[in-house]
Amino acid sequence: MSLVTSEQMLLDAQKGGYAVGAFNVENMEMLKAVVAAAEELRAPVMLQTTPSTVKYGTLETYYAMAAAEAEKATVPVCLHLDHGSSYELVLQAIRAGYTSVMIDGSHLDFESNIALTKRAADAARACNITVEGELGKVGGKEDDLEAEADNNTDPMQAKEFVERTGVHSLAIGIGTAHGFYATTPVLDKERISEVKELVSVPLVLHGASGLSDEDVRECVSRGMCKVNFATELRVAYTDAGKKLLKEHPDTFDPKKLGTVGMEAVKQFVKNRILVCGCDHKAD
């Protein structure tokens, strides 16, 4: 089937009490592995690229790969711009064929974040494309955006933010961080429940790489409808290649490296799909 927007899959997740897995992909092999895992488990899935990834490979290239794999798939596949760093990049992604975009104004003050997010949401809505916004900072670093300390989302501000911007989904800060955790994270899971009480749109969990399965499941049970995974996929892919080269140092065929990388990513994604509870939700 053709690429779809994230709107219906996230609304279904919100209604059904599960979350859609959203996986950052860096190359053809990772992209194919994510779709293959979703096919095997009959799960809706979101493919994501960050600004640094599209700078490396271009929006048009990732769209072409995603569209080709989605066309062969029998489960819903969405192509999402993760952490869109500017209004201009959001427009470029929409023009390239992306079916979902995120505008990340979380580093701005509240009013500036609303203004930027609303501008992007208005433009995307005119093209029938779904938009994710972010309120409250997620720690760690994602591309060139870095937060030194967590700043959890205020529920009342979240309500106002959604109403004034018109976003389809909202990423909130609860103490997670991008990348792996140096120490055990302290998550404000009750904050999810508090925001859910006031906000009508599906909620999004960033910084899930490195969280325990139990933490992810509880976040989903409290209202997270989309869970992002990035760092763990990169590690799975590269570790598989390192292992192959260690065992067979004379390997020179990139396809052999890609094959073990794909399998490692596929197995990881299948595990995360099961943790999110979105398996067999595409049936």
| In the chain, domain spans | 7-276
Residue ranges of the annotated binding site for Zn(2+) are 83, 104, 134, 178, 206
Residue ranges of the annotated binding site for dihydroxyacetone phosphate are 179, 207-209, 228-231
| Phi, psi at 183, each rounded to 5° | -135, 170
Residue ranges of the annotated binding site are 83, 104, 134, 178-179, 206-209, 228-231
Supply the pLDDT for residue 176. 78
- Encoded tokens for 5: 């927007």
Separation of alpha carbons 182 and 218, rounded Å: 21
Supply the pLDDT for residue 186. 74
Closest of 100, 145, 143 to residue 120, by C-alpha: 100
For the stretch 219-269, pLDDT in tens is 999 999 999 999 999 999 999 999 999 999 999 999 999 999 999 999 999
HEC letters along 113-156? HHHHHHHHHHHHHHCCCEEEEEECECEEEECCEEECCCECCCHH
Supply the pLDDT for residue 207. 85
Fold of 7-276: TIM Barrel (3.20.20)
**Catalytic entry in 12, 82, 150, 154:** 82
For the stretch 148-205, pLDDT in tens is 444 789 999 999 999 999 999 999 999 877 555 455 667 899 999 999 999 999 999 9
Residues 58-68, mean pLDDT to the nearest whole number: 98
Query: Percent of the chain, pLDDT > 90?
Result: 87
Separation of alpha carbons 250 and 233, rounded Å: 25
Of the given ranges (25-34, 35-44, 146-155, 184-193), which has the lowest mean pLDDT? 146-155
Q: Bridge-partner residues for 134, per DSSP? A: 171
Supply the pLDDT for residue 210. 80
Mean pLDDT of the chain: 93
Per-residue DSSP letter, 173: -
For the stretch 85-108, pLDDT in tens is 999 999 999 999 999 999 999 999
Residues 6+ apart with CB under 8 A from 216: 205, 208, 227, 272, 275, 276
Separation of alpha carbons 277 and 271, rounded Å: 10
CB–CB of 208/176 below 8 Å? yes
CB–CB of 83/50 below 8 Å? yes
Q: Is 82 a catalytic residue?
A: yes
Neighbours of 169 (CB within 10 A): 24
pLDDT band of 147, cuts 50, 70, 90:
very low
